[in-house]
Amino acid sequence: MKLRRTAVALAQAVSRTGRTQMKLITRIAVVGVLAAALSAGACNRANDPTKTTETALKESNLGAVKVDWDKEAHVAHLKGTVDTVSERERAEQVATAAVGTSGKVLNEVTVKGMNDKNADDMDGQIKSTLKKMVNDDPTLKDRDISFEVNNGVVTVKGDVQTAAEKDKVTELVRSAPGVKDMANALEIKPKQ
């Protein structure tokens, strides 16, 4: 009888130990999953500096300037209207500091009092010139290349087959009259 009680007590102790270990393993697994989820979420937010940049602009009394983050090109497009040229320049400086090494800042901010119609006409001329330059190039004319122009700032999107073609488009854009700045978001997709 004494042997039987000892065996039952031992079985109960092993059972309690197993449940305790299982609870511990479950808790560790839950903590691991939560940590992974939180770090993944933090990584996604870290790549988009929109909120940080907009907060910095507001703190610098430049709340009228908005940020449009292009995650493919890693470019922060500054948009809006300010009263003076110095405010426009300051907005770019503040945004550049906030974006840091996450990407590039393109200043598309308009200054009040400047002729918006002339700016729009100029943007249209730049876009037409760039399209003509691409269409005149025997290699580039067959590629999917588009241009967005705002206040002389050009964003290039589409596909090319080689890094050399992408570099060639950059050279064309930089050589076009009226271009103040540019971002090349072309994707290289080799011919298959």
- Taking the domains of the chain in order of start, what are their residue ranges? 1-46, 49-114, 115-192
Query: What integer pLDDT is reported at residue 122 of this predicted model?
Result: 87
Over residues 45-56, mean pLDDT: 81
Query: What integer pLDDT is reported at residue 44 of this predicted model?
Result: 46
Alpha helices by DSSP H, listed for the chain, are 2-46, 50-59, 85-99, 116-136, 163-175
Which residues lie closer than 8 Å to 76 by C-beta, 6 or more apart? 49, 50, 53, 67, 68, 69, 70, 95, 99, 103, 104, 105, 106
Structure tokens that stand for 91 in this block: 């907005």
Higher pLDDT, 122 or 39: 122
pLDDT at residue 118 greater than cutoff 90: no
Over residues 56-65, mean pLDDT: 93
Structure tokens that stand for 51 in this block: 């909120």
Query: What integer pLDDT is reported at residue 51 of this predicted model?
Result: 92
Higher pLDDT, 96 or 111: 96
pLDDT at residue 10 greater than cutoff 80: no
Sign of CA dihedral 111, 113, 115, 120: positive
Q: What is the CATH number of domain 49-114?
A: 3.30.1340.30
CATH architecture of 115-192: 2-Layer Sandwich (3.30)
CA–centroid distance for 11 within its chain: 60
Amino acid at 83: D
Tell me whether domains 49-114 and 115-192 share a fold: yes
Query: What integer pLDDT is reported at residue 31 of this predicted model?
Result: 46
Do the bridges between strand 144-150 and strand 153-160 make them parallel or antiparallel, or are there none, so unpaired? Answer: antiparallel
Indicate yes or no: pTM above 0.85.
Answer: no
Question: Is there a contact between 146 and 103 (Cβ–Cβ < 8 Å)?
Answer: no
Instruction: Identify the band that residue 33 occupies on the pLDDT scale cut at 50, 70 and 90.
Output: very low
pLDDT at residue 192 greater than cutoff 80: no
Over residues 35-45, mean pLDDT: 49
